[in-house]
Amino acid sequence: MKSLSALTDPVYVPKEKFNLFERLWLHVINDKRDLPFAYLLTTIHLIVLLPAILLFTPVFQGWIWWAVAVPYFYISQLYFKGRFGLMFHCICHRKFFKKKYQWLHTYITWIICPLFGHAPEGYYSHHLGMHHVENNMDDDTSSTMYYQRDNFGDFLKYFTTFILVGVKNTILYLYYRKRRKLYMRLTVGEYVYLAFCIGMCFVNLKATLVVCIVPLIFARFVMMLGNWTQHSFVDHAEPENLYKNSINCINTVYNQTCWNDGYHIIHHLRPGMHYTEMPNEFLKRKDEFAENKAIVFDGIHYLHIFTWLMMKKYDKLADNLVNINGMFSSREEAISLMKERARKLQKAS
């Protein structure tokens, strides 16, 4: 196990001067701390959007088409996917654009999001409209509670269930809670995009698969893997306790590229908090983390945790577990607690 060390995750460093590009964006956005998002969006428009459009046209033919499609897929789905997805997560929780320019958020939702596998309106409706309301409890349509979280077969059941009925269940959740605006947004976004994909298959099947369909399936797999890992350790006695049904990952490169997404406990405690404030918030709450024996890993990210859970390598997880305030008396106690929290809950009869 590790002691709590100094944090290396990103925090805001004030700038004395802004360049012309940044000054132009500051007229459009609400928070100067979000300027990195402006750089990312500009890069995506230059590197991802144009090739995506050209793949549907006759500009590229034969082997040249594949010579463009393969690096395009790598760059969009393996390099930018996490950066963009977690940026979009941030700007859904906190309004990125000033009111006058809020139409740009709609543009990102309907035009840019699908390039990374997000059907329009789906992410916001599911994540803010349902997941943060229910916090992985029974009515959360992506809850992990009733699955064995260190069993790959259970993960496949979880993923398959979400792929087949996850959207429908979320629509019904929002409908029965009379959140009309959200269930209409989710329904329209999902089925308009489905119709678009079907129609574009008749225009250019290869391009539709590479640009639209495979990224959609891949994104839902990644999001379910992420949610599974973030909520792999759930206390049976207090499954509603946010310290005991989620995890934090600190001091990892993942936090540098994906806007401190590793601070998942903090995010559920303070959903609207700016990502640059999360490391300090964690330090302020470290005594509460210790009192609840909250699971915090140092130097690893969700893919490490998922892999070692599936392999039942609790020793590797323990190697990177942070023993805040000496909350665990021994390595064996920590491993025992992780195994217990990874065990599936039984539904009340």
Choose among 257, 194, 205, 221: nearest CA to 69: 205
Res 285 pLDDT > 80? yes
CA distance 235 to 26: 44
pLDDT by residue (tens digit) across 121-144? 999 999 999 999 999 999 999 999
Report percent pLDDT > 90 for the chain.
98
CB atoms within 10 A of CB 286: 15
pLDDT at 347: 81
pTM: 0.95
Mean pLDDT, rounded, for 165-171: 95
Mean pLDDT for the stretch of residues 232-244: 97
pLDDT digits (tens, 9 = 90+) for 293-328: 999 999 999 999 999 999 999 999 999 999 999 999
pLDDT score recorded for residue 346: 87
Burial of 23 (0-12, 13-18, 19+ CB in 10 A): exposed
Confidence band (pLDDT; 50, 70, 90) for 349?
low
- What's residue 70's pLDDT? 97
In this prediction, residue 271 has a pLDDT band, given cuts at 50, 70 and 90, of very high
Distance from C-alpha of 111 to C-alpha of 322, rounded to nearest angstrom: 41
CA gap 145, 235 in Å, rounded: 10
Please compute the mean of the pLDDT values over residues 232-255 and round it to a whole number: 97
pLDDT number for residue 213: 97
Q: What residues have CB less than 8 Å from 196, skipping those under 6 apart?
A: 212
**pLDDT of 333 above 90:** yes
- Looking at residue 242, its pLDDT comes to 98
Burial of residue 125 (CB within 10 Å: 0-12, 13-18, 19+) is buried
Residue-wise pLDDT tens digits, 46-73? 999 999 999 999 999 999 999 999 999 9
What's the 3-state SS for the chain? CECCCCCCCCCCCCCCCCCHHHHHHHCCECCHHHHHHHHHHHHHHHHHHHHHHHCCCCCCCHHHHHHHHHHHHHHHHHHHHHHHHHHHHHHHHCCCECHHHCHHHHHHHHHHHHHHCCCCCHHHHHHHHHHHHHCCCCCCCCCCCCCCCCCHHHHHHHHHHHHHHHHHHHHHHHHHCCCHHHHHHHHHHHHHHHHHHHHHHCCCHHHHHHHHHHHHHHHHHHHHHHHHHHCCCCCCCCCCCCCCCCEEEECCHHHHHCCCCCEHHHHHHCCCCCHHHHHHHHHHCHHHHHHCCCEEEECCCHHHHHHHHHCCCHHHHHHCEECHHHCCCCHHHHHHHHHHHHCCCCCCC
Q: What percent of the chain has pLDDT over 70?
A: 99
Residue boundaries of the structural domains of the chain = 247-342
